[in-house]
Every structure is written in C-alpha cells, then in structure tokens.
Chain A
Amino acid sequence: MTAAAAIQKAKAALALTSNYAVAYAVKAADVDVVAVYPITPQTTIVEKIAEFVDDGELNADLIHVESEHSAMSAVVGAAAAGARVFTATSSQGLELMHEVLHIASGLRLPVVMAVPARAISAPISIHGDYSDVMNTRDTGWITYIASSAQEVYDTVIQAYKVAETTLLPVMVSYDGFLMSHTTEPVELNDEEAVKRFLPRRERPNVLRPEKPITMGAFAMPDWYYEIKYQVQEALASSLKTIEEVDAEYGKAFGRSYGIIQTYRMEDADYAVIAYGGAAFGNAREAVDVARERGIRAGAIRLRVWRPFPADRLLKQLAGVKAFAVIDRAIAFGSPGGGPAFIDVATALYMGGMDVPGLSVIHGIGQRSMYVEDFVKVFEMLKDGERNKVVYMGLRL
C-alpha cells in the first residue's frame, strides 16, 4: 500500500481503543449471548456491548454473572444450546475461569473470548503483561495475540468463523492498557457483509429437546484419552483453518495478517521474535534502527500462539545466525525463562535445527519497553550473547 493510499484508507476510520474495537466486532458478529463480569482492563468491552444492547443495536442476551467462573460456565451452556457467544476477562478473572476453559475445549464448543492481557497477583497489579494468557497454554483453546486495534477488530470476527469451523474455543488476546486503552484508527466493516462472512450454520450435536444428547458425560480410562486426542488433533489442524479464514477475510474486507508476521526477515542475520502490540511494535522500530547501525536485523511476530506455528517459524529461522524471543511473562522455574522461548526452542529441537537464541523477559507488570531496549537485544545477538535468559529493564 502506498503512503497516499494508506492516508486515503484511514480517512474512513473511527478512533477506537482495542476494547471498543472488540465490542464493535461482537456487534458485527451478531452474537446471541454475552456473559459479563467486570475486571480491569477488560471492563470497557462489556460496558460498550451493554450500550449496544441497550440501544437496540445488538440483539443479545446479556447475562450478569457473579464471577468469571460463572461467566465461562454461562457461555459454555449457551454454546452447548447452539448460541453464538462471547465473554471477556483479564488476569485474576482468567485464572478463576481456568477449569471451565478446559471444559469449553473438551466439549468442543465454539466460545469466543477477548482477553486484554494483564499481570497476576501477588503483588496486586492492574497493569499489562501476558502472565494470564500464558497460563492458559494447555487448555486447548486457539489463542491469537493481536498487535493493533484494527487487528483486534478483524481477529474477533475471524475468531467466530474459526471457532465454528473447528469446533474449538478461541481466545483473542492483546496488550492490556497498552492496547486496550489506546485510541487508534479502526476501519469497521459493513455489518451486512460480516453477516455474509459469518453465516449461521446448524451445528451438529447441540442441546435440543427434540433430539436429546448427553454432553459432559463421564469417560472411563478406556475412552478419555481418545476424546482428548481429538482436541490435540483439532488444534493441530486448525492452523490451516486459521489461515484459510484469514485469507477469505482478506478477500472480503481487504485486511489479512497471516499466522506469523515478519518484518525485514528476507536477509536478516538476527531475528527478534515477539508477540503483542508493544513488544512487536517496538521490535519492528528497533529493526530499522539496528539496520542503520549496520546490523542485519529482522522481527517476527507470533500472531497465533496456540496452536504454535512451529513450521512457519522454523522457515524464518533457517537462515539466521541467532534469535531472541521477547516474553512478557515468566515461566517460573523453567529452563527457558519465558513461555514463548520454551516453545521456539522445542520447535527447533523437534525440527532437528540448531540455532542459538536468547530468552529475553521484558514488559513484566507493564515495565516500560523502549525501542532502544530492542536495539540493544540486536546488539547483544551481534556481540555473540547466546543461550541464556536476559531480564531486561530489571533493577538487578
């Protein structure tokens, strides 16, 4: 897109926070049931949705629940009955609904949830990092991590199609505060076109009185394993669906993102792998600065965290001398420092590749991340720093 075309395009945009972008996407997706329970920094999502419902712009049942555990349970129930559902939470709320996250994936229900990512107590923090999202790693949810309010809007709409195709729950996460409360341009789609993109399809196996089925039954050791393997297999094959839906969305609405996003990786010697708006946005700027300083730098963004896009990532790492992963969460007691680094290292091992890397922890509890920090990471890689965990921005 030329700069002039970009300016032209943005003219139709609204000024929205990522949280409001979610609410507009939920409205466009014509969701039936929304379970609401407030927690910072998620609250303004459901406030806006409540406004849409009150104004008659969205015909949805808004369920006020008494906890996040109930919020997830309520949308699990509604999805089991065939409804298109939505909820949102952050931090402690996501922790509290944790056990029900497994139930949503185990029952193969297309629940869609937005999570502006936030640090976890104690000590109490309302600020952003990805500790909450990373704790849901093994729950069987497809997990996106978006990097702009526009992408948040587009991804929530895509999430419904992915969820209803794969019969897996989908989480759309993004930086708490640094995106959830940041005002940016967002182009909205024609809602009729979104309805065509998300046709109502009869789902098999929903709760209907005229055709009774049993959901959530007990499974003995001779059944349980097969049913859980189905989830594992569905997640693995969902990458293809995620890619197809993204491409179809691109055709319909002119914006698509892929599964990983790369910046100046074509001839890069050193790669920084990051997720989320602030970490990747700053890393991307740092690539330009590092290149001005003579380092062939590149950046990779994990737009999809679960399922982990190992093959696509390895293709990018095949030509680099070393990489660093920026994690905005600590995998306490692990050998790798941060959760994404552990997965990148595992992907390399499983792919039979040996590329040295640095695990960089940053932005914990929203410790400020500066472009210059990421330039420093490139300089460290160039100076031969390898195979260790770097706690950036920490007073040590």
Chain B
Amino acid sequence: MSLPKVHEIPIGGIITEPGSSRRNLTGGWRSLKPIIHDDRCIRCRICWMYCPEGTIKETKGEFVVKGRKYQYKYEIDYNYCKGCGICAHECPTKAIEMVPEA
C-alpha cells in the first residue's frame, strides 16, 4: 500500500472524516480469542466496561439460559477484538475463556 505524500495529507494531521478508525480492523492482531460461556455469565457488564476497544456488544431481548431469564446478552465483535484478555481477567465468574486462534 502506498501512503499519501506530504501534499496529499490534510495539514495539521487532521482527520477530516469521522469514524475512520472503523476501517482499521484490528481483529487480525489476535493470537488468543475470548469465548463467552453464556451459561456462566451473570450479566454484570464488567467485560463491557473494561474492554479497551469497545468490542463487547450488548444485545437487548429475552434470553433464557438454564431456566433463568435475562434481558441482555453479551457477544464479542471479533472484527475489532485484539485478544488482549482483559475481559477474561476481569470476569468474576470466569465465564470468558481465552482459546488459541484456529
């Protein structure tokens, strides 16, 4: 990929397009991949809070797991998850497991 030259870059290092970091798919950086075991998840939201990249997706709805009803479900956006493992480290019920990338 050829990068733009001096006069092709907006001056002042300004990024003129909002949300351009969405194009930077950092999922490829992973060597370990977090897996959420939904049956152990107590919906405490700690992973959602701690993820440095905001890759934990919160979905609203009716979810029944082992006879318990939940209003939320947590999933990981693997397009952007770098596999840092913070979520697994913070999870109080060890519901998140880091497994090698296939």
Asked if chains A and B are in direct contact (CB within 8 A), the reply is yes
Establish whether residues B11 and A167, one from each chain, have CB atoms under 8 Å apart when the complex forms: yes
Contacts of A108 in B (CB 8 A): 11-12
For residue B67, CB closer than 8 A to chain A, the reply is no
Establish whether residues B5 and A227, one from each chain, have CB atoms under 8 Å apart when the complex forms: no
Contacts of B20 in A (CB 8 A): 214
Contacts of A219 in B (CB 8 A): 13
Within 8 A of B (CB), among A208-255: 212-217, 219, 222-224, 226-227, 229-230, 233-234
Q: How far apart are the CA atoms of A206 and B99 in the complex, in Å?
A: 45
| B10 partner, pick from A205, A224, A229, beta carbons under 8 A | A205
Establish whether residues B12 and A106, one from each chain, have CB atoms under 8 Å apart when the complex forms: yes
Contacts of B18 in A (CB 8 A): 212-214
Establish whether residues A223 and B10, one from each chain, have CB atoms under 8 Å apart when the complex forms: no
For residue A107, CB closer than 8 A to chain B, the reply is yes
Within 8 A of A (CB), among B1-19: 3-6, 9-18
Establish whether residues A222 and B3, one from each chain, have CB atoms under 8 Å apart when the complex forms: yes
Q: How far is the CB of A84 from chain B (nearest CB, A)?
A: 17
Most central of B6, B11, B16, B17 by chain A CB within 10 Å: B11
* Total contacting residues, chain B, CB less than 8 A: 15
| A215 partner, pick from B3, B4, B5, B14, beta carbons under 8 A | B14
The bracket for how many chain A residues form the interface is 20 to 34
Contacts of B14 in A (CB 8 A): 107, 205, 213-215, 217
Most central of B3, B4, B9 by chain A CB within 10 Å: B9
Most central of B5, B6, B12, B20 by chain A CB within 10 Å: B12
Q: How far is the CB of A106 from chain B (nearest CB, A)?
A: 7
Q: How far apart are the CA atoms of A226 and B14 in the complex, in Å?
A: 12
Establish whether residues B6 and A230, one from each chain, have CB atoms under 8 Å apart when the complex forms: yes
Q: State the majority secondary structure of interface residues on B.
A: loop
Contacts of A229 in B (CB 8 A): 6
Contact with A along B10-50 (1 / 0, CB 8 A): 11111111101000000000000000000000000000000
Establish whether residues B12 and A227, one from each chain, have CB atoms under 8 Å apart when the complex forms: yes
Q: How far is the CB of B10 from chain A (nearest CB, A)?
A: 7
Q: How far is the CB of B88 from chain A (nearest CB, A)?
A: 27
Contacts of B13 in A (CB 8 A): 106-107, 215-217, 219, 223-224, 227
Which residue from chain A places its CB closest to the CB of B12 in the assembled complex? A108
Q: How far is the CB of B42 from chain A (nearest CB, A)?
A: 36
Contacts of B9 in A (CB 8 A): 223, 226-227, 230
Q: How far is the CB of B21 from chain A (nearest CB, A)?
A: 9
Q: How far is the CB of B50 from chain A (nearest CB, A)?
A: 22
Establish whether residues B3 and A223, one from each chain, have CB atoms under 8 Å apart when the complex forms: yes
Q: How far apart are the CA atoms of A234 and B18 in the complex, in Å?
A: 26
Which residue from chain B places its CB closest to the CB of A109 in the assembled complex? B12
Q: How far apart are the CA atoms of A223 and B8 in the complex, in Å?
A: 12
Contacts of B10 in A (CB 8 A): 205
Most central of B3, B15, B18 by chain A CB within 10 Å: B15
Contact with B along A137-181 (1 / 0, CB 8 A): 000000000000000000000000000000100000000000000
Establish whether residues B15 and A230, one from each chain, have CB atoms under 8 Å apart when the complex forms: no
Which residue from chain A places its CB closest to the CB of B13 in the assembled complex? A227
Q: How far is the CB of B66 from chain A (nearest CB, A)?
A: 44
Contacts of B16 in A (CB 8 A): 205, 213
Which residue from chain B places its CB closest to the CB of A108 in the assembled complex? B12
Q: How far apart are the CA atoms of A176 and B72 in the complex, in Å?
A: 66
Instruction: Kindly list the 8 A-B residue pairs having the minimum CB-CB distance in the complex, ordered from nearest.
Output: A108-B12, A214-B15, A212-B18, A227-B13, A107-B12, A226-B6, A205-B14, A108-B11
Instruction: Other than A108-B12, A109-B12, give 5 A-B pairs with Cβ distance below 8 A.
Output: A213-B15, A215-B14, A222-B3, A233-B6, A234-B11
A contacts, CB < 8 Å to B? 106-109, 167, 205, 212-217, 219, 222-224, 226-227, 229-230, 233-234
B contacts, CB < 8 Å to A? 3-6, 9-18, 20
Would you give 25 A-B contacts (Cβ < 8 Å), ordered by A? A167-B12, A205-B10, A205-B14, A213-B14, A213-B15, A213-B16, A213-B17, A213-B18, A214-B18, A215-B12, A216-B13, A217-B14, A217-B15, A222-B3, A223-B13, A224-B13, A226-B4, A227-B11, A227-B13, A229-B6, A230-B6, A230-B11, A230-B12, A233-B6, A234-B11
